[in-house]
Structure 1
């Protein structure tokens, strides 16, 4: 799925839902995002079936935010995002809850939204090394 179909708005201050938000809007072909999030004809993937990660890109102040299917490892999408905004979201989530809660709000081209409450956001450097201190990793998770 093309990266230019997505825009990301990182809202570190709690919004209506009371927690920091990673708002992503999809403007590509109708049904494209929903198809990728659909597990069966009746159900979309739930929060426990999705992983969120951020990878720094060398020589830029940005990186790539990705959403993947935890069971298959398949990328649902990737979207460019600024490092500073992701760091601010991680800090806000750590302040918000014990393990660092935040939500991912996905809005499709029809204006319909899906909201996923998350506690894990893995941040990697440009060489693929996990940056534990800059990630959200619940205490119950072993890596």
Structure 2
């Protein structure tokens, strides 16, 4: 799936927000491709347990950019990818940390995939892994719930 089919918009990342910080992935590509990526081999929609969220730096400078992605946990295949600036992802992580509820909460942030203004998929998540431009995990910049072993 081409990254230029997708744009990333953040909402509810302000300091006073009482709603879950949200990353909205607006998709403008072929519908059948998106539907295929958001389902498993049997045609069932991927649920939050089968989707991983990550950000991988492409550059390590002051205006750092990277790739924000959803991946199918079972296959490792990318579901949706979008080019993003690191500052936006930092804002999302910071807001999610402020909103982090008890360990039994469904999530501390949301990821929504939309097409033509309609929500196609939504996932409440507690984990967002951030990697440097060489593929090493940046624990201090990631959202990793307590008790999770990587």
Which residue is 1:55 aligned to?
56
Rounded to whole Å, the distance in 2 between the matches of 1:36 and 1:110 is 19
Q: 1:13 to 1:4 in 2, by over 3 A?
A: same
Which residue is 1:94 aligned to?
97
Structure 1 runs (4+) greater than 3 angstroms displaced: none
3-state SS of paired residue (1:34): helix
TM-score normalised by length of structure 1:
0.89
Q: Does 1:140 align with 2:147?
A: yes
TM-score normalised by length of structure 2:
0.86
Q: 1:68 aligns with which of 54, 66, 71?
A: 71
1:121-143 per-position Cα deviation (integer Å, ceiling 9, x unaligned): 00011111111011000012101
Whether the aligned pair in 1 keeps the contact of 2:55 and 2:68 (CA below 8 Å) is: yes
5+ residue gaps, structure 2, are none
Q: Give the count of matched residue pairs.
A: 141
5+ residue gaps, structure 1, are none
Which residue is 1:44 aligned to?
45
Which residue is 1:3 aligned to?
3
1:15-48 per-position Cα deviation (integer Å, ceiling 9, x unaligned): x98200010011001222111111233x200001
Q: 1:36 to 1:21 in 2, by over 3 A?
A: same
Q: 1:123 aligns with which of 127, 130, 139?
A: 130
Whether the aligned pair in 1 keeps the contact of 2:112 and 2:119 (CA below 8 Å) is: no
